[in-house]
A = this chain, B = another copy of it.
Amino acid sequence: MHSPPLAGGTAGPAALRPLLDVVLDALHQGAKTRSGPLPAGGPHLVTRRVQAAAPTVLPDHGTGAEEALTTLVRALAEGAADPAEPHCAAHLHTPPLALATAADLAAAALNPSLDSWDQAPAASALEHLVTQALAHQIWPHGDALITTGGTESNQLALLLAREHHGPVQVVCGAHTHHSIHRATWLLGLPSPIVVPAPTGTTDLTALAATLAAPHPHPLLVVATAGTTDTGAIDPLPAIADLCATHRAELHIDAAYGGPLLFSDRHRPRLAGLERADTVTLDLHKLGWQPVAAGVLAVADPQRLTALGHTADYLNADDDTDAGLPDLLGRSLRTTRRPDALKIAVTLRALGRDGLAHLIDRVCAHAATLAQLIDQHPQLELYAPPTISTVLFRPHDADDTTVAHIRRTLLTDGTAVLGRARADGRLWLKATLLNPHLTPHDLTTLLTATLSTTPTPPSAPSTPARPTIPSTTPAPPTEGTPR
């Protein structure tokens, strides 16, 4: 029996090439067969198809690389909710750039692990450059860690506060990401004090009252720059002022909104970000990276010493004294993939203006979609979008109907829309992250949604197929075909 070839070494690329051809063919065939944003049929049918493709996960004898790749990659692609498809727009679930995806292959092939220098000589140096560059977007002397995503970044922010102050009392808005609550549970911190956010952002009066009240523990305020539900950005300067007055720490979860920093047009919305102690960023959202590409940025690099940790086989004192970098304190993980590579390739290939172009485009798409909705007689717009999230619902639909429309679109394989509760009601949510969308895509997304909307009881039983007004505002167009 022969051992299958490895991905690394001088021979790795030649071994990878034919296998990558198999993968690309399977991805293409799978996408063609799916022919839309997600497979029709709902969970039961998709699961049955995957089971049929892989009835035995671990056979006694292998089927070989080509068969296994063809079968399983095809099954994955056929059954994907693919964010590169125009009508897949539910979540902060980005369609990755081809160049970032290609870079990620190199990370997998070389398999450096960032827990010690002797597993990642160049990768650790590159990660250092990337984290410095990202932190310096906020503070001239900040630092940053690469994480698995906003959830881990938020968890680390709370951990750093705990290690600096002892048990901290988190204060956050009702709109704060669930990972903050989960992190307090994980870390054994008191449950967060939740301040109302009736308009989708932290209520400043309520926050001021909360901070002014006596508390047994030091306070950590969590603000959000780009909520998951609406993309709203908290009034960061006012919150920073309150934190300064009441000597509270400030963490800003900018997992979604953070990359607005790269856009001259949108950067001003993040004014106040630099007054935080810690900031969560996440380039697998508005940064077009394959998962994972999370970041935790810290104003004071000294705070990171709390993560310092010694394991003799990775960072013995005499090795560190002799000049081998001590990397174990750069994460709570031990073995760690170099997610910095794809980020570095993206930043360099696109540059600041290239990133700004993408960000400006998806924000413009959202503005256009909002206008289409606002002008539509059958649809209600929640509010003009802050970033690239648009909430809407058919007039007269109740919450149950809204939830049903969303599930019907999913089951029919027509569109992947999200859901969000705002203003006490349930809304359909379109999170636009695909820079290649066309005006036509936005129009047909709304048409598909309306086609799925049940007829209200008072309406005629055979309504005309709803249409979008013919005079739609023109979103920015682009020369490249999708």
As a 0/1 sequence over residues 335 to 365 of chain A, the CB contacts with chain B under 8 angstroms (1 = contact) are 1111001001111111111100110010000
Q: Is the CB of B5 within 8 A of A98?
A: yes
**Distance, CA A2 to CA B358, complexed state (A):** 9
Task: Name which residue of chain B comes closest to A334, CB basis.
Answer: B151
Given contacts A9-B85, A126-B75, A129-B50, contact A57 B348 (CB under 8 A): yes
Question: In chain B, what residue has the closest Cβ to A410?
Answer: B118
Q: Which residues of B contact A51 (CB under 8 A)?
A: 125, 129
* Residue A119 is within 8 A (CB to CB) of chain B in the complex: yes
Closest 4 CB pairs of A and B: A79-B122, A8-B84, A188-B188, A62-B351
Q: Assuming A7-B290, A51-B125, A229-B313, what are 9 further A-B pairs, CB within 8 angstroms?
A: A8-B83, A12-B27, A63-B349, A79-B122, A91-B118, A111-B290, A228-B313, A318-B400, A319-B407
Q: How many residues of A contact B (CB 8 A)?
A: 180
Interface residues in A223-243 (C-beta closer than 8 Å to B): 228-229
Q: Whole-angstrom distance from the CB of A449 to the nearest CB of chain B? A: 15
* Copies, count: 2
Determine the chain B residues whose CB is within 8 A of the CB of A349 once the complex forms: 4, 62-65, 67-69
Is B419 a contact of A316 with CB atoms below 8 Å? yes
Cβ–Cβ contact B125 & A81, under 8 A: no
How far apart sit A434 and B12, CA to CA, in the bound complex (Å)? 13
Tell me which of B65, B80, B99, B290 contacts A19 (CB under 8 A).
Answer: B99
CA A421 – CA B316 in complex, angstroms?
Answer: 11
Chain B residues near A69: list those with CB within 8 A. Answer: 99, 102-103, 345, 349
Fill in one digit per residue for A182-211: 1 if any B CB lies within 8 Å of its CB, else 0: 100011100000000000000000000000
CB-CB contacts of A58-83 with B at 8 A, as 1s and 0s? 11111111011101110111111111
User: Is A138 in the interface zone, CB < 8 Å from B?
Assistant: no
For window 118-174 of chain A, which residues contact chain B by CB distance below 8 Å?
A: 118-123, 125-126, 128-130, 132-133, 137, 148-152, 155, 159
Please list 20 pairs of residues, one from A and one from B, whose beta carbons are closer than 8 Å in the complex, sorted by A's number.
Answer: A3-B436, A6-B96, A6-B436, A8-B84, A13-B24, A13-B27, A16-B101, A23-B102, A44-B323, A49-B122, A54-B126, A56-B348, A58-B352, A59-B348, A61-B352, A63-B349, A104-B105, A109-B290, A150-B334, A186-B186
